[in-house]
Chains A and B, each alone.
Chain A
Amino acid sequence: MPRKPARHPVWPVLAPVLLFALPLLLALPLAIGQGVEPAAWRALASDPQGPRALALSVGTALASTLAALVLSLWLVTHLHGTPAWERLARALGPMLSLPHAAFAIGLALLVMPAGVLARLLAPLLQWDAPPDWPTVNDPWGVGLVLVLVAKETPFLLWSIVALLARPELVLQLRGWLAAGRTLGYRDRAIWWRVLWPQLLPRLTWPLLAVLAYGLTVVDLALIVGPASPPTLAVLAWQALLDADPARNAEGAAWALLLAAVLAALVALGWALAHALAGAWRAGAVDGRRRPVPASRQSTTAPRMAPAVLGMLLALYGAVALLIALSSFTGVWTFPSLWPQSWTAGAWVQVADSAGTVGLTAALGVFAALAALALVLAWLEAAPPAWDDRAMPVVLAPLVVPSLLTMVGLYSLALPLRLDGTLAGLAWVHTLVALPYVFVALAPAWRAFDPRYETTALALGRSRAAFWWHAKLPMLAAPVAAALAVGFAVSVAQYLPTQFLGAGRHGTVTTEAVTLAAGGQRHTAAAFAALQALLPAIGFGLAAAVGLAQRRRIGAMPAPHADGPRTA
């Protein structure tokens, strides 16, 4: 049997494995090892805040994930195919680029006892001091759930929009909808009976990311979450940051508990999904059809959906406006609606920190590009079958509490003398951005028609020439989106910069957090605005590339179209 030359060289896979997978796999045991001390677990068991904190974490994470999922599905079902769909797709970029913490700060300014809403009501209800409202930091975590839902729904919608935009799905969807309509079902029914059962399994990874985030989020829980006791993630974080090593071990133990809880929830969800699937299918094929109205506009739900979308957009707008305004306010006592004094002091501080903006942008660009290079090395060299096995490693940084990961990476970097260096910082930012770049790019990359490459090779061109001149330009839009995501993720990092930078290098986010510790509202708002601005620029550029691509490539039906073409 003649020796067959390998179709693609596999060695480029070494780069992402050595620079990403290996450090992670080494770092996690280092961090976890700190948490397996019996003393730590004993302290855990005797901590009075434990059970309540655990219940809060699980409750808020589950509630927010389910609510975000239901809201996203409902919005997609009613907006797909309508003019509002385009508006939705375009609005997602800006909504996603607003950092979580900034959004929470802005929302708090709206609904807290001394917030804008209360001030609007004060003259009517004759208040001269802020009311005792449980809106922010309420003991049941409702405020936290609301913020999580507001922030995770755009993320889920973005995943769904990306999924539905895939060429092979676009036509299949049209076909299925047509088939269902001819069988007498309304669109809404077709979505719930036929389409979602097929699409939901493809959303497991985004859903997992949302659940993991809700369970392990710290900064949001600090701003709007319960205080006595806080969520488990906050407890872990506080213990890990303590100067006492015994408390650090406790924190690692808490983090391990969280990871175990996440695994348990996932297993539970999987079991539940399988149990329900049968019942869902039975319901789907029961043949009951509601009479289809003569005109499409006569049902309420289709009118409600754009209204709900509008409310979500209005909320984001209000939050952004509040952040911008409060960055200039000085003294603003209740119940006056207008601040008593204005000051540009916060922006003076921002100007003083201008050096950090340069570093933040440079780090972000490097991390995005390096993560892209590693992801492309993997996508090009690794057989697609390896992707499924690689997913757990890729998504580990999203799922494991980032503080734990950072503790492990720091232990790894110390003997290598990478701590405090720019190289170490750039490396850890790349590591953190990589999962997001991978999730953003892999689907589009894998869906690329392999016959383009065959055609180019048969034309006598080299693989490299095809890659540079054809494949990369054709995938410019997903690549730009992935770069924008990587950039945004790098900008938002606090723990990696603080830990591995040994505090030597300041980014916009570290400045924001340390100044927020000083408690001046206008400073916090100004830095939140700055934190939002940088990723917004990235997403804007990606959207521009996407638009240019769509214009150029145009409405040409992609390959795999069924049915003959006409001249």
Chain B
Amino acid sequence: MALELLDVNVGVAGRALVRGLSARVEPGAVLALMGPSGSGKSSLLAWIAGTLEPPFTANGTLRLDGRDISHEPVQRRRIGLLFQDDLLFPHMTVRENLLFALPAGPRPAREAAVTAALAEAGLPGHEQRLPSSLSGGQRARVSLLRCLLAQPLALLLDEPFSRLDATLRAQIREFTFATLRRRGVPTVLVTHDPADVPTGAACVQLDAPADPLPPAHARHA
């Protein structure tokens, strides 16, 4: 269930942003991509997700659970994606947003999964609520739940806490990484704030694009 990157290059307009990156993220572990804006960390994340568009170019191998998924479309990669905004569908209730993510199956089992997930997140009974009636922290939690209910084999977090205020941030951070560790999902986190990186996470520092880099190696925080 590990996520592997092998010899990944990402560039734009003939300029290399990331060169020869290799990394392996074990289940439940976190790989943090850090660097100033423009260093290519979001582009790298997009490549892993399968959403990288021109003018960006990339090559390299991506393996998930031993399978080479470098050329799979987004829908087939089983990689979850969380953005800064919760992006909950505003016209659906919490329950409907969560059901949207669940794989198809017998109805009672799906409903039970939704109830269990909400209980786990400390939001029991919130099924019929609309996103507009939830607080920012509640929405962030539901968004993570939605991601996880799709049973991803890996998870990508693109600066997921930057929209939350300081106190909430710590809370949600705790909750997120505890859940991911418990579920055993390999995670790649993009952030510019070192405080976001959990202890024990591997760190890749991407430098500003002006400097030519020797191939980056995984370093421990």
Which of A's residues lie within 8 Å of B, judged by CB? 1-3, 5, 7, 449, 451-452, 454-463, 469-470, 473-474, 476, 549, 552-556, 559-561, 564-567
Contact = CB atoms under 8 A, between A and B. Distances in A.
Nearest to B172: A567
B107 interface: no
Q: State the 10 A-B residue pairs at the shortest beta-carbon distance, nearest first.
A: A554-B132, A565-B136, A556-B132, A458-B81, A559-B85, A457-B74, A567-B137, A553-B90, A459-B150, A564-B165
Interface in B129-179: 130-133, 135-138, 146-147, 150, 152, 156, 163-165, 167-168
Given A459-B146, A459-B150, A564 B89 contact: no
7 contacts: A449-B85, A455-B87, A457-B51, A458-B152, A470-B92, A552-B130, A567-B168
A1 to B, nearest CB: 7
A456 B156 CA distance: 14
B133 A458 contact: no
Contacts of A553: 90-91, 130, 132
Nearest to A454: B51
Nearest to A562: B163
Interface residues of B, number: 44
Contacts, number: 109
A302 B135 CA distance: 37
Contacts of A461: 75, 100-101
B103 interface: yes
A369 to B, nearest CB: 21
Nearest to A3: B71
B74 A552 contact: no
B35 interface: no
B132 A470 contact: no
B89 A458 contact: no
Nearest to B171: A567
Contacts of B100: 456, 459, 461, 469-470
B80 interface: yes
B70 A2 contact: yes
Contacts of B131: 556
Contact of A554 (B75, B89, B133): B133
Contacts of A449: 85, 87
B53 A7 contact: yes
B122 interface: no
B89 A452 contact: yes
B130 A554 contact: yes
A566 B136 contact: yes
B75 A549 contact: no
A552 B91 contact: yes
